[in-house]
Structure 1
Amino acid sequence: MRNILYYLAGILLLASCKKSSVQPEETMETEVAETVNANAAASSPMGNQQKLEFFGYVDVPPSSAFEVYAKAPGYISRIHVLEGTLVKKGAVLGQMESPVYAVWQKELMQAAAEWELQKSRYERLSGLHGKEAISNAEIEAALRDYKSAEADFKGRKQELEAMGFSTGSILLGDFQQYIDIRTSITGMVTEVHAANGQLASPSDHLFTIVDKSHLHIELQVPVADIGKIAIGDVFYFLPAGGTDTLKGEIHLINDAIESTTNTIRVHGHLEEEIHAEQLSVGERVFVTMAQKQ
Structure 2
Amino acid sequence: MFSKYIKATTLALALIPTLLLQSCNQKKDVENTTTEVSAPVETDLVHLSDVQMKNVTIKTGQLSTERIAKTLRLTGKIDVPPQNLISVTNPLGGYLKSTKLLPGMQIKKGQVIAVMEDPQYVQLQQNYLIARDKYEYAKLDYERQKDLNASKASSDKVMQLAQSEMNSQKITMNALAQQLSLININAKQLTYDNISKTIVLVSPITGFVSNTYVNVGKYVTPSDVLFEIIDPSDIHLNLKVYEKDLDKLEIGQRIISYTNSDKNTKHNGEIILISMDVNNEGASEVHCHLNNYDKKLLPGMYMNADIETHANVVHALPEESIVYFEGKNFVFVEVEKQTYQMQLVTIGNKENGFVQIDNFKDLENKNIVTTGAYTLLMKLKNTEEEE
Partner of 1:26: none
- Structure 2 CA distance for aligned equivalents of residues 125 and 251 of structure 1: 64
Displacement of 1:74 in angstroms is 0.9
1:15 aligns with 2:31: no
Please give the alpha-carbon distance, in whole angstroms, between the structure 2 residues aligned to 1:198 and 1:132.
Answer: 62
- Say whether residues 1:107 and 2:141 are aligned partners: no
Query: Residue 5 of structure 1: CA displacement?
Result: 8.2
String of CA shifts for 1:237-279, please: whole Å, max 9, x gaps. Answer: 3224324133333333222211x22111112222x3132x121
Cα pair distance change 1:221/1:148, threshold 3 Å: same
C-alpha contact (below 8 Å) 1:239/1:278 kept by paired residues: no
Residues in 2 aligned to 1:261 and 1:286: alpha-carbon distance in whole angstroms? 19
- Pair 1:257 & 2:281 matched: no
* Partner secondary structure for residue 208 of structure 1: strand
Q: Which residue of the other structure, out of 269, 284, 303, is the alignment partner of 1:248?
A: 269
Residue 186 of structure 2 corresponds to which residue in structure 1?
Answer: 166
- SS where residue 121 of structure 1 aligns? helix
1:163-242, aligned counterparts within 5 Å?
A: 163-242=183-262
Offset at 1:19? 2.1
TM-score scaled by structure 1?
Answer: 0.80
Shift of 1:97: 0.3
Partner of 1:93: helix, strand, or coil? strand
Which runs of no fewer than 5 residues in structure 1 stay unpaired?
Answer: 24-47
Is 1:278 aligned with 2:296? yes
Following the alignment from structure 1 to structure 2, what is the Cα–Cα distance between the partners of residues 289 and 143? 69
Cα distance in 2, alignment partners of residues 253 and 234 from structure 1:
13
Q: Distance in 2 between matches of 1:229 and 1:107?
A: 60
Letter in 1 for 2:266: T
Instruction: Give the CA deviation at 1:4.
Output: 10
1:123 maps to 2:130: no
Amino acid at match of 2:143: E
Distance in 2 (alpha carbons) for counterparts of 1:254 and 1:220: 10
SS at 1:225's partner residue?
helix
The separation in 2 between residues aligned to 1:290 and 1:144, in whole angstroms, is 70
Relative distance call for 1:235 and 1:118 in structure 2 (3 A) is: closer
Q: Secondary structure at the match of 1:20?
A: coil
Q: Amino acid of the residue matched to residue 304 of structure 2?
A: F
* Aligned residue in 2 for 1:57: 77
CA deviation digits over 1:14-61, x for unaligned, max 9?
A: 4323221699xxxxxxxxxxxxxxxxxxxxxxxx98653322111122
- 1:245 to 1:9, Cα distance in 2 relative to 1, 3 A: farther
C-alpha distance in 2, partners of 1:111/1:244? 62
Report how many residues are paired.
Answer: 266
Percent identity for Structure 1 against Structure 2:
24
Question: For 2:237 and 2:112, how far apart are their aligned partners in 1?
Answer: 31
Amino acid at match of 2:293: I
Distance 2:127 2:272 in 1: 55
Which ranges of structure 2 fall in alignment gaps of 5 or more residues? 1-18, 44-67, 313-387
Q: For 2:182, what is the secondary structure of its paired residue?
A: helix
Q: How far, CA to CA, are the matches of 2:252 and 2:145 in structure 1?
A: 74
Question: TM-score w.r.t. structure 2 length?
Answer: 0.62
**C-alpha displacement at 1:206, in angstroms?**
1.3
Distance 1:251 1:149 in 2: 52
Please identify which structure carries the higher strand content: 2
Cα distance in 1 for partners of 2:119, 2:226 equals 21
Residue 10 (structure 1) shift: 5.7
2:260–2:304 CA contact under 8 A, matched in 1: no
1:37 maps to none
